[in-house]
């Protein structure tokens, strides 16, 4: 179950790709857009945690990501304008997914895989 290589077009509200992902803390924006009973171990860990927060550290072209409530961590690297390729891990299992920055850097959407009900949105507090 890979992700398609659909380019994300820069437009109004998207972060300037020259600025990149902003380090800091983002909190989950409810309600969640996840289908029930996700089976992949990383997805299930994220789904079972309550009120996730996303910690972003680093600068330039590589970022460390952490979802402490779920015990999930990973890395993000640029994959186009306002988009990032993400590798997440949990208890020896890994998941490749995508992240998109929107709202001038105030909103981050994590796409766990292609398809409906596979996204988690985070906002800067």
Q: Which residue has the higher pLDDT, 109 or 18?
A: 109
Q: What is the pLDDT of residues 45-99, one digit of tens each?
A: 999 998 999 999 997 788 999 999 999 999 999 998 889 999 999 999 999 999 9
Structural domain span for residue 74: 24-123
CATH of the domain at 43: 2.40.128
Task: Count structural domains, the chain.
Answer: 1
Q: Nearest 5°: phi and psi at 122?
A: -125, 145
Q: What is the pLDDT of residues 43-58, one digit of tens each?
A: 999 999 989 999 999 9
In a domain, residue 118? The reply is yes
DSSP 58-118: EETTEEEEEEGGGTEEEEEEE-STTEEEEEEEETTEEEEEEEEEEGGGTEEEEE-SSSSSE
């Amino acid at each position: 179950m890979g992700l398609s290589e659909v380019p994300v077009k820069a437009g109004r509200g998207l972060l300037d790709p020259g600025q990149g992902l902003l380090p800091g803390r983002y909190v989950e924006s409810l309600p969640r857009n996840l289908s029930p009973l996700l089976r992949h171990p990383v997805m299930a860990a994220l789904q079972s945690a309550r009120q996730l927060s996303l910690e972003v550290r680093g600068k330039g072209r590589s970022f460390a990501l952490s979802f402490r409530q779920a015990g999930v961590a990973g890395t993000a690297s640029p994959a186009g304008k306002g988009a990032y390729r993400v590798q997440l891990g949990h208890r020896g299992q890994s998941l490749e997914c995508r992240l998109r920055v929107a709202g001038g850097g105030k909103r981050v959407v994590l796409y766990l895989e292609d398809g409906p009900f596979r996204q988690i949105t985070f906002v800067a507090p």
